[in-house]
Amino acid sequence: MSTTEVPQPQPHPHPPPLPPAGPKDRDLIFSSDPNDEAYHKANQLLTDFMALHQLVWKCTNSELPKEEPEVQSITERLFELFQSGKGRNLAGMKDVPTPFLVGPGRFLQKSDETHEYKEISDEQAKTLLQSRVFAILSQESIDTPALQELRREFSEFVTAYDMMMTTEVILKPTDVIVLEQNDTETDKAFGHQQGNKTMFALASQYVNAEVATASQRLEAALSVFLAKPPVDDVIHMGLEKPKPEGTEKPRFILCRTGENDRKEYSLVKPSDAAEVTLMFVFEVWMEKELTAKRDATAYNTAESADYPKPSMDEPIDCPTPSDVLFGRGGMTNSHIGNKRFRDVIALHRPDYIKAIKNDKPNVARRIVRAIRTSDPPGRFLKKCEDGKWRDVGDKVAAVRYVHIFVISHL
């Protein structure tokens, strides 16, 4: 008995292209509606970068640009940054704050008719990007007195740096070490560099969720870049008192691994170093803004909105690197998750110290939430008498352990 073969459907020779997924925070969007771009994270970062380049232009040029081709090199630089992701990072700050602009991104344009986003070509993106850069750099900016003073100091710093570019680089403890984005091995070697730790402390002090505009973030970034401790708050951070005018500012040093694992050092140009600093300040702001938005109204509701309620009865045989371990001994001190926990606390410590008594629990919950919602998620574990680990829950983690860690590191 013969059987009839059932014909299989053939693929269409020219399948229609799939519509792009909705814009991710990482994608740069172009829309005729200003509100679309104003609240989109990548576009907010672009606005910050354009404000920085406007300031750098004023420091290095006598006149504003008069034609679009004059800003082509800046456009190419920003295009590469948003297309491929940031190429450099500050040593010792690989995971905290959460990195942004990592890996490839897309350029999307919103249709005025369908309100859908479509991925555009590189040339289209460069054309749209250049028009935006020119529109900002070709106009006079209205700077606050504080920003005017920071611009003056930055201009002086650029002049002094030009004279240092030809000198041999010998590392100092106050230097800020910059690494290529994927250089994880060298990152371990400079995890305790004093210059980088000072930058981290300053950024945590200057940046909070309310630093919501490009000019505010630029002011914070320049203050961090020039190592200017906030006069009223240095006692809280364990920082040195503000240095007298004319004192040497920290240098930014790019470290690469050459042949035979030999470290090679070179000075980073001020404009490039300012970009790295601004990127870091933006990441700090994103971390604090995100956790502030997710504030809960009571201790026991911190887990309800963003992640499953942790099980406090389930035994855990082996903690993961993302978990925070409580208890005595070298294991808890050296655990990767505990190091990240200490970094997250350091990031939020100024907010905790400044908060009034009733607001301190909110800051503590932000710290707990940062661990719970990390990728991969972390837990707060304590070893029990049966040798198993169990989650202590959000309320204990926030009320007891966060407070202990904050106070013990003052």
Domain ranges of the chain: 28-137, 145-293, 299-408
Burial of 149 (0-12, 13-18, 19+ CB in 10 A): middle
What's the CA gap between 25 and 42, in Å, rounded? 6
Mean pLDDT computed over 5-33: 66
Query: Tokens standing for 336?
Result: 């990767």
Banded model confidence at residue 302, pLDDT cuts 50, 70, 90: very low
Mean pLDDT computed over 306-335: 83
Summarize pLDDT for 168-215 with one digit per residue, the tens. Answer: 788 889 999 999 887 777 777 787 788 999 999 999 999 987 788 999
81 pLDDT above the threshold of 90: yes
Give residue for tokens 């933006």: 282
Cα maximum dimension of the chain = 100
pTM for this model (two decimals): 0.83
What's the CA gap between 277 and 298, in Å, rounded? 35
Residues 6 or more apart in contact with residue 371 via CB below 8 angstroms: 322, 324, 337, 340, 341, 344, 377, 378, 379, 380
94 pLDDT above the threshold of 80: no
409 pLDDT above the threshold of 70: no
**Helices (H), ranges, 169-269:** 184-189, 194-206, 214-225, 234-237
What's the CA gap between 12 and 19, in Å, rounded? 17
Q: What are phi and psi of 218, to 5 degrees?
A: -65, -40
Mean pLDDT computed over 26-37: 93
What's the CA gap between 225 and 152, in Å, rounded? 13
Q: How many CB atoms lie within 10 A of CB 122?
A: 10
Higher pLDDT, 128 or 342: 128
CA nearest to 251, candidates 265, 267, 271: 267
Q: How many CB atoms lie within 10 A of CB 15?
A: 7
pLDDT for residue 231: 63
What's the CA gap between 362 and 349, in Å, rounded? 12
Mean pLDDT of the chain: 83
Q: Peptide bond preceding 376: is omega within 30 degrees of 0, i.e. cis?
A: yes
297 pLDDT above the threshold of 90: no
Summarize pLDDT for 238-249 with one digit per residue, the tens. Answer: 444 444 444 467
Give residue for tokens 């060298």: 186
Higher pLDDT, 178 or 355: 178
Mean pLDDT computed over 303-320: 78
pLDDT for residue 395: 87
pLDDT for residue 7: 46
Give residue for tokens 């973030």: 217
